[in-house]
Structure 1
Amino acid sequence: MSAVDLPLVVGVDGSEPSLRAVDWAADEAVLRGVPLRLVYASLWERYEGTSPAQDVGRPSEQVMAEDIVAAAARRAARRQAGVKVSTDVLPEEPEYALVRESREASALVMGTRGRTGMVEMLLGSVSLAVAAHADCPVIVLRGTQDQRGGPETHGRIVVGVAEGPAGSAAVRFAAAEAELRGVPLEAVRAWRHPAHPAGGESARLHEERAAETLEAAVSEAAEQHPGVDLRRRTVEGHARRVLLDVSRDAGLLVVGAQRTQGAFGLQLGRVTHGVLHHAACPVAVVPHRS
């Protein structure tokens, strides 16, 4: 299967956030010209064993899961009549199933169940694990804004520019998305002036270095996507806080994640981890394997 044929995968579980993810992904699949794949994963066999549902001969949660993905497929078809939809029900841990799905996906879309009131909206463990280990970009639909308008209607894309290949990979993804949607792309590089600079280094010097890093990261994308309105911005402050601030009026925030072969644990930097938990808009995590 060529890269252009790889589906856009959505993790569904019947919740309202996952249904919003189906809407968002259906629009995104049409923009990309790729099929949509809806996946429900759960370890119902562990809890139900081989006890069948009445008159069906299959575990009751499997029947429920099949109903959920069927309803999600109908919703996607209503949203975008031309999108090609496939579904699957997998009897395994959701995070493992979705990470495996990411190996043959153009991107993976997930909703997140946030908390309201006095508690900040925190990312669920499944979304966090998938974002930390997936082989393809993972888009987590954070934020309280109405996302029913689709990915093409939410204004500019912002990409946080980090040093190294992970930063460049994030910029390339962001530029391609901005071109598809016909929206501006704002590339942001945060910088900080040390409290006790060595050798009397000025704040201006640190800002100039940030601008140089930014330019190096966006130069290739600027050449490949000349029609994109690319805006460069350096901001003094901690990268996590800077990106959370710009997420308040962005349609999509894109960040990179370095993957190290053979490493264990959550392979997300502190900045990416922070924006996944607290951003005010959808977040795309773009992996780069070293």
Structure 2
Amino acid sequence: MLKSLYSGISGMKGFQTKLDVIGNNVANVNTVGFKKGRVIFQDIINQNIAGATAPTTQSGGVNPKQIGLGSKISSIDTIHTPGSPMTTNVGTDLAIDGDAFFVVTPDDPNKNGASYLTKAGNFTRDANGNLVNSNGYFVSGVYGTASPKDKVAINITDYTVPDPADPTKTITLKFTSYSIDSEGYINVKDEAGNSGKLAFDGTNYYLNSDPAKPNDNISLATAVVSNPGGLEKVGNTMFVVTGNAEAGGKLTIDRIQNNSGGTIISGILEMSNVDLTEEFTEMIVAQRGFQANARTITTSDSILEEVVNLKR
């Protein structure tokens, strides 16, 4: 059988995959924090008809004669270029101007369960006052001086303080407002007019206005990986770390100013980094490539038909 038949099939399969990736990119053109994919091809093995011959004093060199046997997918890369910012003016909509990722977990962060990375900062407060993402995953915070930092849920509801009238008793004060600054700290104000940063002492949340205790202050947990392309997509605009994203597959979670991950911007969302102009151009290339490979198969079939009909 003609080798071009199988070469054409391999090319069609490759361009089918490329169209699948392009279709997913276009479908997520308005997905918050989405990172587009890219397909890279490479050739398969070559059949050597004749090897190369080195030049001698009597004759010149001869190049090798080889026939390629088609193409295959070399890689499907995730491109981590920044997406376009969209202003929302919502205090819990956050974007990172830098390389860091937000850290979310399906379990209480205090339990040190599975951690996922995301660029989608469309967070909200649930009925219990926890900062969560659109899937109900807890947005992780960090506090303390340990390395890696201790994780904690970001709970913005109320806290207890000694009763001014009777120090043996306590009263509960609710947080009436809050904001998230560029370093990920949660600035809070309570109903008594006290202001400070949301803090955690290992047991209880409280309003910290004491500059001598900065390590108790909670800031949004962030992580920076050596090779973002090595992260594995797990759906819901989230990634999980792999051994090729970070050495040993270990994720180091810290404050954003400690891992040089950039700055956090409140009231803005990072949108998809898909460029429709580029995607539609690549779609045309993939379509024509698929058609050209199909024509290779059709032409090969015509040649085989002629061979079969040589003797009638």
| TM-score tier after normalising by the smaller chain length | under 0.3
Task: Give the alignment's TM-score, normalised by structure 1.
Answer: 0.26
| Higher helix content, 1 or 2 | 1
Q: Work out which structure has the larger RCO, using CA pairs closer than 8 Å and 6 or more positions apart in sequence.
A: 2
| Higher strand content, 1 or 2 | 2
